[in-house]
Structure 1
């Protein structure tokens, strides 16, 4: 199952914890075509039917079915650049 680093947890909580966001808000990762490596990351109020939910210290990530399979053995990390832009990084989990 996808795991989150402390940085990713903090970044996701800051993104989804903005004023007016519902309590169950999270980041959703989806993959349109399982044959393609590209992933889409969006913020959303709640998981969609069939989404796998990963929660860590209040940060919630919703994984669409294709993305859940692709990210099953990965660690999600995040960084914020000088301009406040967020970059998510995926690294393999240690064996």
Structure 2
């Protein structure tokens, strides 16, 4: 299952809180974009019926079925660029 770093959890919570998405049930949704063959991020008020929900320290991330498969052994991290904008990255999970 996707792992979320503490920095990414903080970023997700901040994005949801700053939006019009209800903070109790809302979250960041990651879905496979069929046209672009890439992952797309969006805000969602609730997860879709078949989404996998990952909750890390109150930060909710919803993964569509394809994204859940692609990100099963990955880590979601976050940082800021030079202008202070949040940037997310996907990396390999550390091996035990």
What's the TM-score, normalizing by structure 1?
0.89
Match of 1:56 in 2: 56
Match of 1:87 in 2: 87
Q: How many matched pairs? A: 92
CA distance in 2, matches of 1:78, 1:19: 18
Checking the alignment, whether the CA contact within 8 Å between 1:32 and 1:66 is kept in structure 2 is no
CA distance in 2, matches of 1:3, 1:39: 16
Match of 2:47 in 1: 47
CA distance in 2, matches of 1:77, 1:68: 16
Give unmatched runs, 5+ long, in structure 2: none
Checking the alignment, whether the CA contact within 8 Å between 2:11 and 2:78 is kept in structure 1 is yes
CA offsets, 1:70-91, max 9 Å, x none?
0000000011223232211111
Give unmatched runs, 5+ long, in structure 1: none
Alignment of 1:1-95 (within 5 A): 1-18=1-18, 20-22=20-22, 23-33=24-34, 36=37, 38-95=38-95
